[in-house]
Amino acid sequence: MQGLSKEVPGQHVARKNEMTAAMSTTPDGRKMLLACADRAVFVQRFKAPFNAEVSALALLKIAIANPDCAGVMINSAASEHSYVIPRDRVSQLISRATQAST
């Protein structure tokens, strides 16, 4: 995510249009929301800068709220591989999580 103040540690509650999420384009041209599976291991192994953590459900909701987003690309912490959750599957996972919490 971009837009978080690095000077203010801890939880940040964003207002509308206050933050953006990193997107990447797959070789076949699909735009994907980027995530890492295990932040601590990922940062140690790849030295990638991260300045925000969100729950899995929040990440899925961010992806589905962006009409240009074709899904979520989860980068592996163990190797240079990624797993793609396509947009239609993102919707299914949100529905399952919502049903499980009621």
pLDDT of residue 94: 93
Mean pLDDT of the chain: 80
Distances (CA, A) of 26 to 35, 90, 93: 14, 17, 22
pLDDT in tens, 20-53: 677 889 889 999 998 887 777 877 877 666 666 7
Contact 49, 2 (CB under 8 A): no
Side-chain-facing half-sphere of 23: CA atoms under 13 Å:
16
pTM, rounded to two decimals: 0.74
Give domain limits for the chain.
31-100
pLDDT of residue 1: 47
Q: Across the chain, which distance is largest between two alpha carbons, in Å?
A: 39
pLDDT at position 58 over 70: yes
